[in-house]
Amino acid sequence: VNYFKMRAVQGVLLLSSLFVLSNASCPNQCSGHGSCGAHDMCTCSRGYQGPDCSLRTCPFGRAHVDTSKGDMNFDLQVG
């Protein structure tokens, strides 16, 4: 009788642990800016980064201050 009780308790624990693992999710549901992938990691949409895709990615390229006192016509000559 004790054997069957122990097996029943083990079965319940196993099922409950599987339920918890299956309900694991990505942090903050990827903030609505990505998709939840393998190992509960976010794959961020373009323009977002971070573990939960909540951080904006700055655009890359020339900034308005890159040539404020130098190469005004982009000919690589300063002065």
**3-45: pLDDT as tens digits:** 788 788 888 777 666 544 445 588 899 999 999 998 899 999 9
**59-74: pLDDT as tens digits:** 776 665 555 566 667 7
With vertex at residue 31, the alpha carbon angle to CA 29 and CA 35, rounded to the nearest 5 degrees, is: 60
The pTM for the full model equals: 0.47
Neighbours of 34 (CB within 10 A): 22
